[in-house]
Each structure stands twice: as C-alpha cells, then as structure tokens.
Amino acid sequence: MAMSEVQQENILTYVNSLPSDIGDNIIQCMNRWSKGEQAYGYIHPVQVCSNLLALQTRMPFLSDQQAMDLMILKIYLQQTT
C-alpha cells in the first residue's frame, strides 16, 4: 500500500477529525498494512471504517460531521489501497 505524500495528508485530515482512539486505530492498521503485516491480525483500514460505520448505524457515537468524515475516509482508502 504505497501512498503519495498528498494522499497521506488527505487521510490524516479525515483521521484527525475523528476521536483520537478511532483515528489511532485506523493509523495503526494503515501502518501495519503498508509494512505487509496483515497476517498478524490487523484488518484492512477500509474494513475498520466499515465496522465503525456499521456500529454508528446501530448505536451512534460520532457527530454527524465525524460520521461523514469517516465515510469519506473509507471511500478515499478504497481508492488508494
């Protein structure tokens, strides 16, 4: 998963709008996947976003803007990874 500096900055913009524990989880998964460590139990960052969005529909815990940012981040990660 090689990304340009611009792509990384765009991703960080969306991640920084999320609660820190969620953002840290997404970044950790992105780092592990970029190093090829997906075999060690780290799910793909897109799957992390999907899981959080599914949880958001069942039990909202994000603001409307954060949920939108998470959705955009998921789409962006699908296109770059």
Tokens 């500096």 appear where? 5
pTM of the model: 0.83
Angle formed by the axes of helices 20-34 and 64-80, nearest 10°: 0
Residue-level pLDDT, tens digit, the chain, 81 residues: 566 788 888 888 999 999 999 999 899 888 888 777 766 677 888 999 999 999 999 999 999 999 999 999 999 888 876
State how far the Cα of 40 lies from the Cα of 26, in Å rounded to an integer: 15
First to last CA, the chain: 5
Which amino acid, residue 80?
Answer: T
41-44: long-range contacts (C-beta < 8 A, 24 or more apart)? 44/81
